[in-house]
């Protein structure tokens, strides 16, 4: 490469890039060697991109069709160079790619960093460290690059000390590709050493599909296996190699939780290597965030983030699919309509669900780690993927009245195993929080009869249950809905209730159109009243979410159920003063709304009503 650079132009790093750079240098210090993994990973990506572009434009590749990543060092000068003959970058690309961070949500991400090195290191890992990790070991970095297909004088050199700014100048460069020169910090000179470099390459980059060569005694020798990992046999691959490859495809710093590697032969031939991460990415809930697997066709890289191969509710899965049947010029549009893709997608979906089921059976603790990170995403499954409803249902976990612990994770199968004799339904309750659910008056009769109820309080639960009507042949029943017939006898059932049936009609005439009906309850033990909704009505939680989203929600009136055995109801039954009866009926209704976590139409009036009663009560007490 010739060294006649033009006048350099100075640019400032994007604010987020600057902050991230600073934090990265400080928080990743204890794991400095990963900088090499990141640079080799980028070089390998650059070669993948050139191979792909070259499919349609062979001129881009020309005579130089052997690909390599080359590492060399000069111990005396304290420099380390990583070069590739991949796609290279134009001047504009250099400025955009090495001066900004294009990932959406970067600003929010940076705002979350605390300055606490340990915590930040974990966070940055999830974000993906990338090119900037060079500055962990270098106090100056120089990038010389020329885009494939451009003329020799169209090269660019980028330089930075990793502080506020970088410079860019034009430079004649004879061959395509990118060369990154690190001027090692005094404390990082150890990296300019043959044995050390060899070890790091073997440790992190063995699985890279191109040869990574190291220069010693003026000769290049290949250090890594240089065979794309997924093309090797399962038995030839160590767990460490699988983990290393995960970091390459996922840009995740952490190890994966588990993975599945399969080769399928027959009518369709493809290989898949799918990983479940340990941690949710910071932008899991960002709908526009790229997702999906890396797609290869006949070992040629085609695209990142091919989202057509997995359903949305498995968007956390990372990995590679390599198909032998798809055309090399396949586009996203074609993928969307291709039957082969649909077949592969169905098979991969099953694989992931099987992988999770296996994990749940063999290592419940690790499965619970998964559940805590991704359970809410998986809950989108039953409504999205009808065909796999039953397998997804087996993977779901809930809190339950069984031991009333929030972290407790009961599966539907556990529940079924504990069902009472004569019980043929799975009961659940949806509320806006764990405490509301656990304290709900709706649960009283269930407790008394020892019948377990699943407690649901995630925003998505109402939606989940709308897609999941039964499990193992047993209907799932919302305890808030419809009339209940619970198995088991209760001595109270045969006792004459304290208040008369006629009381219900009296209360209904006070509440009028605000309620659908007032009826005697079989749900309650200690509480005087509760609200129930119709079998097919929208749940309270769904109603709240839709209202908050500004959606029109159809009107629906709850039914007020009253506990005729309760002293308050007996007292009301005996009440002859119409004014007081109206007050008590209204209070009863308001209390039931509050216990459900509903908002009162007129909270101030409720407070006045309660206060008026308290004043009277205190007067009597004195
Ligand atoms: P990521 O690899 O996650 O995209 P990086 O920070 O590692 O993020 O790299 C930023 C971008 O810089 C890459 O997406 C790529 O466009 C460009 N880049 C980095 N290294 C090279 C290289 N050796 N050849 C070509 N482009 C590169
Ligand atoms: Mg990278």
pLDDT-derived band of residue 595, with 50, 70 and 90 as boundaries? confident
Bridge partners of 82, per DSSP, are: 71, 180
Question: What was the pLDDT predicted at 622?
Answer: 81
Distances (CA, A) of 215 to 83, 183, 285, 322, 492: 12, 18, 45, 32, 88
CATH fold for domain 398-621: Rossmann fold (3.40.50)
For 476-500, the pLDDT digits (tens) are: 999 988 888 787 765 555 566 777 8
* Residue from 13, 44, 45, 149 to probe ligand 1 pocket by mutation (most atoms less than 8 Å from CB): 45
Angle CA 366–372–374, to nearest 5: 100
Report the length, in residues, of the chain.
622
For 219-241, the pLDDT digits (tens) are: 999 999 888 999 999 999 999 99
- C-alpha–C-alpha distance, residues 401 and 312, integer Å: 31
Question: What was the pLDDT predicted at 489?
Answer: 63
Asked if residue 128 has pLDDT above 80, the reply is: no
CB of residue 131 inside a 6 A radius of ligand 1: yes
CB of residue 44 inside a 6 A radius of ligand 1: no
Nearest ligand, measured from the Cα of 132: 1
Ligand 1 atom closest to Cα of residue 82: 23
For 28-69, the pLDDT digits (tens) are: 777 899 899 889 999 999 999 999 999 889 999 998 889 999
Query: 544-549 long-range contacts, Cβ below 8 Å, gap at least 24?
Result: 544/432, 545/459, 545/462
Question: What was the pLDDT predicted at 21?
Answer: 85
Residue ranges per structural domain of the chain: 2-224, 231-372, 398-621
Percent pLDDT > 90 in the chain is 63
CB-based contacts of 614: which residues, under 8 Å, 6+ apart? none
- C-alpha–C-alpha distance, residues 336 and 569, integer Å: 62
For residue 523, the CA-to-ligand 2 centroid distance in Å is 59
Which CATH code for domain 231-372? 3.30.230.80
- C-alpha–C-alpha distance, residues 448 and 523, integer Å: 10
Asked if residue 570 has pLDDT above 70, the reply is: yes
Fold match between domain 2-224 and domain 398-621: no
Mean pLDDT of 520-547: 84
Q: What are the backbone angles phi and psi of residue 524, rounded to the nearest 5°? A: -95, 145
Mean pLDDT of 356-371: 96
Mean pLDDT of 581-592: 94
CB-based contacts of 398: which residues, under 8 Å, 6+ apart? 409, 410, 411, 412, 428, 454, 455, 456
Question: What was the pLDDT predicted at 26?
Answer: 78
Asked if residue 544 has pLDDT above 80, the reply is: no
Asked if residue 518 has pLDDT above 60, the reply is: yes
CATH fold for domain 2-224: Heat Shock Protein 90 (3.30.565)
Which residue has a Cα nearest atom 19 of ligand 1? 42
Q: What is the pTM assigned to this prediction? A: 0.81
For 388-416, the pLDDT digits (tens) are: 999 999 999 999 999 777 677 899 999 99
Q: What are the backbone angles phi and psi of residue 615, rounded to the nearest 5°? A: -60, -45
Mean pLDDT of 277-283: 88
pLDDT-derived band of residue 2, with 50, 70 and 90 as boundaries? very low
């Amino acid at each position: 490469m010739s060294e006649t650079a033009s006048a350099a132009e100075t640019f400032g790093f994007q604010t987020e890039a600057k902050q991230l750079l600073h934090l990265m240098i400080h928080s990743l210090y204890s794991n400095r060697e990963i900088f090499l993994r990141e640079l080799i990973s980028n070089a390998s990506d650059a070669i993948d991109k050139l191979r792909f572009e070259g499919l349609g434009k062979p001129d881009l590749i020309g005579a130089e069709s052997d690909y390599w990543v080359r590492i060399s060092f000069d111990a005396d000068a304290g420099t380390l160079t990583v070069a590739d003959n991949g796609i290279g970058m134009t001047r504009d690309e250099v400025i955009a790619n090495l001066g900004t961070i294009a990932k959406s949500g970067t600003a929010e991400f940076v705002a979350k960093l605390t300055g606490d090195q340990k915590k930040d290191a974990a966070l940055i890992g999830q974000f993906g460290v990338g090119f900037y990790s060079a500055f962990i070991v270098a106090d100056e970095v120089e990038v010389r690059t020329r885009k494939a297909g451009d003329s020799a004088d169209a090269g660019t050199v980028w330089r930075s000390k990793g502080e506020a700014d970088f410079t860019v100048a034009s430079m004649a460069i004879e061959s395509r590709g990118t060369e990154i020169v690190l001027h090692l910090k005094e404390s990082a000179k150890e990296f300019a050493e043959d044995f050390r470099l060899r070890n790091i390459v073997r440790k992190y980059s063995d699985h890279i599909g191109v040869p990574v060569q190291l220069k010693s005694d003026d000769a290049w020798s290949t250090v890594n296996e240089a065979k794309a990992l997924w093309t090797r046999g399962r038995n030839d691959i160590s767990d460490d190699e699988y983990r290393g490859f995960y970091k390459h495809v996922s840009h995740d710093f952490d190890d994966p939780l588990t993975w599945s590697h399969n080769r399928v032969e027959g009518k369709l031939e493809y290989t898949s290597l799918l990983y479940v991460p340990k941690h949710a990415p910071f932008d899991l809930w960002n709908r526009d965030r790229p997702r999906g697997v890396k797609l290869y066709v006949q070992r040629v890289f085609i695209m990142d983030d091919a989202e057509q191969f997995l359903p949305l509710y498995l968007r956390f899965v990372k990995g590679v699919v390599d198909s032998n049947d798809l055309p090399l010029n396949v586009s996203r549009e074609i993928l969307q309509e291709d039957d082969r893709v649909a077949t592969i997608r169905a098979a991969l979906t099953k694989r992931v669900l099987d992988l999770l089921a296996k994990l749940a059976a063999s290592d419940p603790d690790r499965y619970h780690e998964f559940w805590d990170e991704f359970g809410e995403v998986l809950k989108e499954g039953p409504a999205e993927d009808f065909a796999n409803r039953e397998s997804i249902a087996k993977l779901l976990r809930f809190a339950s009245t069984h031991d009333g612990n929030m972290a407790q994770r009961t599966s539907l199968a556990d529940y079924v195993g504990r069902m009472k004799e004569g019980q043929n339904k799975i009961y659940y309750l949806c509320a806006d929080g764990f405490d509301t659910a656990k304290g709900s008056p709706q649960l009283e009769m269930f407790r008394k009869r020892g019948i377990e109820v699943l407690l649901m309080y995630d925003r998505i639960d109402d939606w989940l249950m709308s897609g999941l009507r039964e499990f193992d042949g047993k209907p799932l029943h919302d305890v808030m809905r419809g009339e209940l017939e619970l198995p088991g006898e209760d001595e109270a059932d045969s006792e004459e209730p304290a208040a008369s049936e006629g009381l219900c009609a009296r209360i209904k005439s006070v509440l009028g159109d605000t309620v659908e009906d007032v009826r005697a309850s079989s749900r309650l033990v200690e509480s005087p009243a509760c609200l129930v909704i119709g079998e097919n009505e929208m749940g309270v939680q769904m109603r709240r979410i839709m209202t908050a989203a500004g959606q029109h929600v159809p009107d629906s009136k709850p039914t007020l159920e009253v506990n005729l055995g309760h002293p308050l109801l007996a007292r009301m039954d005996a009440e002859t003063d119409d004014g007081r009866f109206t007050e008590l009926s209204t209070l009863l209704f308001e209390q039931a709304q509050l216990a459900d976590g509903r908002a009162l139409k007129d909270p101030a009036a409720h407070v006045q009503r309660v206060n008026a009663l308290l004043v009277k009560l205190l007067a009597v007490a004195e």
